[in-house]
Structure 1
Amino acid sequence: MDVPEPLTEEELAGIEELLAATTPGPWYVRSLDDDHAMCLVAVSTVPDTGLGERWPDFDHHEIVAATLVQQPRYVDVVDERWDENAAFIASARQDVPRLVAEVRRLNRLLAAGRVAGSE
């Protein structure tokens, strides 16, 4: 397995720019339903109520992404990992900033070790 090159500060800044351009978080997975988007698995800016609301009982402005729309079947994936994909997308909104901060923290520690070791 190839070891990837370390992320540069420019790459980390690029990731942060992409993140800053997204809808503010946190994001949540929601299971919704209606006649036009049957069994909608969505990523939303508000938590799931567990009620499987039907439109117009949910605000479409809260939906960031969808991983499954069964009727008509125009949002789907062959491996049927709709819930898993939605959970990943939703958690990425919170996890990516933490990962960028952790990479920077570790880079500072490595740099400090190099400076201390060179004396």
Structure 2
Amino acid sequence: MTEKELQAIRARAEAATEGPWRANCYGILGGQERVLWPTDIGTVESFDKNILFILEARQDVPKLLAEVERLQHALQTYREYGSLFIADMHNGFSLTDLVETKLSEEACGNDEE
């Protein structure tokens, strides 16, 4: 996830009104679907920002989940191989190099475990 994507998600979240939000059911379409509309979401201006937040959530949430998983994996890799970094510090390796090398090896199927 890029910094620009993260900033855009943050801006949408900060522009939306505080929750919790509620929804009103206005009927049934096609015999199955309910039309839900958020209530208690502020002024007309904040309404537009809230709608943008809702519309983009379908794309934002999976991106955020993928980023959390990537960071969790990187942290786990650091925990598993951090001691190797300590041992190799005198050889000029950085922790970033070590983690990126390990993640690259795993992605390419070159994991020696």
Q: What TM-score range do you get, normalising by the shorter chain?
A: 0.3 to 0.5
Q: Indicate the structure whose relative CO is greater, using CA pairs within 8 Å and at least 6 residues apart.
A: 1
- Structure with higher Rg: it is 2
In proportion to residue count, which structure has more helix?
2
Q: TM-score, normalised by structure 2?
A: 0.38
